[in-house]
Structure 1
């Protein structure tokens, strides 16, 4: 994992705070002037700011180039343009932006994806790695270790290799198999597709999972072993396949692949849905749902969409 001096870490955190203020739309002319002074006071500050802009664009799909071009020449007219552009682009309420703040380690990860993006790579030793939406991972082949920092990863190992998968709650030892790891609240869901995986929590005994099984790896132990939720693994092919599942399950998953806000009326969650939905066009998925279920889509902006029960008209 990449490490940073305290000075670099503080500069990156400061850049993130400045960017959150600018993106909120509430930055005053004085704020923008102080930002410019902060940027020009140190090459370290300017480097951190440019990195924040780049990563904001990569992770949240906002028009970072607009902000970069405007702030590079901070005269009054361009400041006004910036506020106008961000106002139009907002698109995203401040609360959502705050929820998308990235841990520092994810900013410098070896692999990372934006919201809605998926990546795959074949490593030099034959290991196949897939990274799901809004995820980040570090890879150290010399130490035979992959560290999942954020989101979800799938790993397939050739028959002669082993790999340790590190997460905040412990580690997973994989020997010539295929697994999927997903970080959730205070746990990591481990799904074994092929071979076996040994789950070692930070506290408590280890547990060996077989192919077709999944369990929750937590700091204090491993949760109950169950069968795979196979539909949750379809992202590796870019689809979600559901057979008579609650609509709420699909919507919660779909929200992970859309930048911005996706909301829905609670009563819609009980509707049942069957189908195969492609993750590379979530707008089309919503349109298909509206065509087949008693719901309607209200699009305030590309980044703010809500679903409501369809009104019955006599």
Structure 2
């Protein structure tokens, strides 16, 4: 049986698929340089890009004459079917490969959110559940277990009967507590808003995490326990909060809520941003950044945005 890829592998696959789509649509010199930096930054990145290239070559030989001959026929249903097939063929190199890299559990999960979406549910026992952007969750309420497949969730359990959250890096038991869990490339971040939770990492002893505490669960076990900034959890109210944050870090977080590509000049990385931004309109967030910082927003399409350093004008 094919082993499901790790969260890190899924993120690399996503990134490679986005780069492939961008270059297929006509990347410029700036894009090529950015892609090269991404490839050079990790052997995993380079391997994923080479795999994407091989896949593109595999589908490059789809004969256009097949489509033209069939479209010439008068039967409307056959035309419609073929048009849809050709549309799928144009997307195959990216979509098919990305589909293979992402585990089926993501597509089959009981609950989903799209990019930029947050949703709330009330469970049968009165617990409150919320999913952040681009997240997937499986429910097994008979076993009182939730399986976080992808993304980020918040869970508020009011009753004494515990609910377990199964994540790739450990198990979290929640009762009379409120907790947030976020899957990252190499870790699972657990933050306790109220009460306390029991954690069983993949390796190492069980530990208790109390209100106001946060820990990263890793493949090697639990990291150090520390305090967390409640502003990290502003997404529950549809807000992205920054307090003198490096712009690069802010943009990487903002990119989770935007479909398509968001790129920026490395010269913008160290600029600082402070404020609370409503996630319901990320285009407006970019406009606000442009009004308060020396940057220019270049929009090729709604799904392809580049930020550049604005030159000083006298």
TM-score, structure 2 normalization: 0.72
In 2, the alpha carbon distance for the partners of 1:100 and 1:312 equals 47
Mark the CA change 1:241 to 1:202 in structure 2 (over 3 Å): closer, same or farther: same
State the shift of 1:266 in Å. 1.6
In 1, the alpha carbon distance for the partners of 2:257 and 2:217 equals 24
- SS of aligned partner of 1:155: strand
Mark the CA change 1:201 to 1:183 in structure 2 (over 3 Å): closer, same or farther: same
In 2, the alpha carbon distance for the partners of 1:313 and 1:150 equals 45
Mark the CA change 1:33 to 1:191 in structure 2 (over 3 Å): closer, same or farther: farther
User: Which residue in 2 is equivalent to 1:206?
Assistant: 206
In 2, the alpha carbon distance for the partners of 1:277 and 1:100 equals 35
In structure 1, runs of 5+ residues without a counterpart are 7-19, 35-68
- RMSD, matched Cα: 3.3
In 2, the alpha carbon distance for the partners of 1:241 and 1:100 equals 35
Aligned pair count reads: 252
User: Which residue in 2 is equivalent to 1:104?
Assistant: 104
Structure 1 segments, 4+ long, off by >6 Å, are: 23-28, 31-34, 69-72
Does residue 80 of structure 2 align to residue 73 of structure 1?
yes
In 2, the alpha carbon distance for the partners of 1:108 and 1:198 equals 28
Q: C-alpha offsets along residues 230-265 of structure 1, whole Å, 9 cap, x if unaligned? A: 222100000012222221221111000111100111
In 1, the alpha carbon distance for the partners of 2:276 and 2:221 equals 35
Counting only pairs closer than 5 Å after superposition, residues 49-60 of structure 1 correspond to structure 2 as none
Mark the CA change 1:126 to 1:114 in structure 2 (over 3 Å): closer, same or farther: same
In 2, the alpha carbon distance for the partners of 1:283 and 1:181 equals 27
Mark the CA change 1:100 to 1:210 in structure 2 (over 3 Å): closer, same or farther: farther
In structure 2, runs of 5+ residues without a counterpart are 3-16, 26-58, 68-75
State the shift of 1:27 in Å. 6.4
- SS of aligned partner of 2:109: coil
User: Which residue in 2 is equivalent to 1:220?
Assistant: 220
In 1, the alpha carbon distance for the partners of 2:140 and 2:312 equals 58
Counting only pairs closer than 5 Å after superposition, residues 130-141 of structure 1 correspond to structure 2 as 130-141=130-141
